[in-house]
Chains A and B, each alone.
Chain A
Amino acid sequence: MEIKGLFVILVSSILVNNFVLSRFLGICPFLGVSKQVETATGMGMAVTFVMTVASIITYMVQHYILDPWGLGYLQTIAFILVIAALVQFVEMVIQKVSPTLYQALGVYLPLITTNCAVLGLALLNIQFEYNLIQTITHAIGASIGFSLAIVLFAGIREKLEISDVPELFKGFPIALITASLMSIAFLGFAGLV
């Protein structure tokens, strides 16, 4: 029963309630860092790491600090604190490990701090009253969903670069249209769970 429930959470967060294409969270990096598959993958990995670790820590913070002391109203600011610290850490690691990726991600890397997908995930975990295992599953699912969306989108945008797009649709307009079409496509998963 437990395993089945986890699987449902995983599938639902990847496909049905995809963070980008159904919940419309994390649109900023989705549009900003999706020009190349390679950087999109890097961004996906960075967000995956931040999301997973942030979920675990925010779960701890919620259940061992905020709840016992009745500080539920500090939820948002406490979570942002956690996420900001994590993003700083990820930034340092990426700069050390892969300067090229650091260059490519540019300003969007520190912007994960204010990425609503990360904060949204942490808040949703609490809202759905998930336990730790479910939280982790949900986080992994959500970040796989985010990575999937951004990598697919980057693949399409790479093709768009070389295709004959009418002058006034070139660049961002066609990207936005593509994103909306992808969102409609993902709507097809709605009956899955």
Chain B
Amino acid sequence: MDMSTIIVPVVSLGGMGLLFGAGLAYASQKFAVEVDPRVTAISEALPGANCGGCGFPGCGGFANAVVDGKAPVNGCPVGGAECANKIAEIMGVSAGEGVKKVARVICNGTHSNCKEKFEYIGIQDCKAAAMLAGGSKGCQYGCLGLGTCVNVCPFDAIEITDEGIARIIPEKCTSCGKCVEACPKNVIDIVPYEQDVVIDCNNKERGKGVKDNCSVGCIGCQICVKACPFGAITFENNLAKIDYDKCTNCMLCAEKCPTKAIYANFENRKKATIDEENCIGCTICKKQCPVDAIEGELKQPHKVLEDKCIGCGACVAKCPKKVIEMK
């Protein structure tokens, strides 16, 4: 075989490649664009998932926006405080503590709790299922549990339980909001990570409409509104809503809710304790307590009744001597 059939093409193409390469190398120096070094530094500090959770097109877009002053340094919901601090350092400002938020499926309509209208056999996707008479669930507002959110979650933070409901793992969730967008039932909400009390129902119908289909739905009885000592619960479209700024995680509402539609993490419930040596017996805490869990006479050290205390922290906020602690 004639070697030139190989050598000639290799040399000619290679030569062209070299020539163009050299030309481009020269051009890249001549037309070099100075990029703000902060943009590169911020891009490196970001998680790089390009999820778009910040509202900018990808991490690069966010980095540019931060440098331009159009985005806050803690604007990345994924990177969290650590990432915000790094960016703040690059930009030379302080980040301020952002509250970590997580997504939560506000529905507890498991197979045992919520009736099915019919058996759905079709594409295993909530959007497809929702098009067929609003899905197989008796409740029109509940989680269909076919995993559309699982598929869009870039962080592997959602799973479908055996009971047919999507559950979000708060530790993995970065509140990027992709599942919120993807859910055809709008049953995913963003709540603060530290929040221990959440209304686990999305049903906006009146009491009977809820009760006929689901045993754990919000029936709009408003008992929680009356039970809340802090006025943190309001009603909107027959559905209870917690104002997370006012809520103190006292969990009284969850105790009173007749259908158990309010989720509360009772294990996290705190108790107030008064440092009796430093208590001056001003009785302010006694007056503040919504459940009369503090006893004591004027000018005598006060005491917290452990079994009555709901851990709302109202006394801590008002104590003039700062001798009450939550444990």
Contacts of A69 in B (CB 8 A): 8-9, 12
Whether B9 contacts A71 by the Cβ 8 Å rule is: yes
Whether B13 contacts A78 by the Cβ 8 Å rule is: yes
Closest to A86 in B: B20
Q: Within the complex, which residue of A74, A88, A89, A92 is in contact with B13, where a contact is CB–CB below 8 Å?
A: A74
Q: Within the complex, which residue of A81, A88, A93 is in contact with B16, where a contact is CB–CB below 8 Å?
A: A81
Whether A92 contacts B20 by the Cβ 8 Å rule is: no
Secondary structure call for the B interface: helix
Which of B22-30, B136-144, B160-168, B269-277 contacts its partner?
Answer: B22-30
Determine the interface band of chain B, counting residues with CB < 8 A from chain A: 10 to 19
Whether A95 contacts B12 by the Cβ 8 Å rule is: no
Contacts of A81 in B (CB 8 A): 13, 16-17, 20
Interface residues of A in 14-72 (CB under 8 A from B): 61, 65-66, 69, 71
Whether A92 contacts B16 by the Cβ 8 Å rule is: no
- Chain B CB within 10 Å — which of A71, A81, A92 has the most? A92
Interface residues of A in 115-140 (CB under 8 A from B): none
Whether A78 contacts B16 by the Cβ 8 Å rule is: yes
Instruction: Report Cα–Cα, A85/B31, bound state, in Å.
Output: 15
Whether A93 contacts B12 by the Cβ 8 Å rule is: no
Whether A82 contacts B28 by the Cβ 8 Å rule is: no
Contacts of A77 in B (CB 8 A): 13
Secondary structure call for the A interface: helix
Closest to A106 in B: B57
Instruction: Report Cα–Cα, A69/B12, bound state, in Å.
Output: 9
The reply on A96 being an interface residue by CB < 8 A is yes
The reply on B33 being an interface residue by CB < 8 A is yes
Whether B12 contacts A89 by the Cβ 8 Å rule is: no
Closest to A92 in B: B31
Instruction: Report Cα–Cα, A82/B20, bound state, in Å.
Output: 8
Interface residues of B in 1-39 (CB under 8 A from A): 8-9, 12-13, 16-17, 20-21, 23-24, 27-28, 31-33
Q: Can you give 22 contacting A-B residue pairs, CB < 8 Å?
A: A61-B16, A65-B12, A66-B12, A69-B9, A74-B12, A77-B13, A78-B13, A81-B13, A81-B16, A82-B16, A85-B21, A85-B23, A89-B23, A89-B27, A92-B27, A92-B28, A92-B31, A93-B27, A93-B31, A95-B33, A96-B33, A99-B33
Q: A82-B16, A89-B23 are in contact. List 18 more A-B contacts (CB 8 A).
A: A65-B12, A69-B8, A69-B9, A69-B12, A71-B8, A71-B9, A74-B12, A78-B12, A78-B13, A78-B16, A85-B21, A85-B24, A88-B24, A89-B24, A89-B27, A92-B24, A95-B31, A96-B32
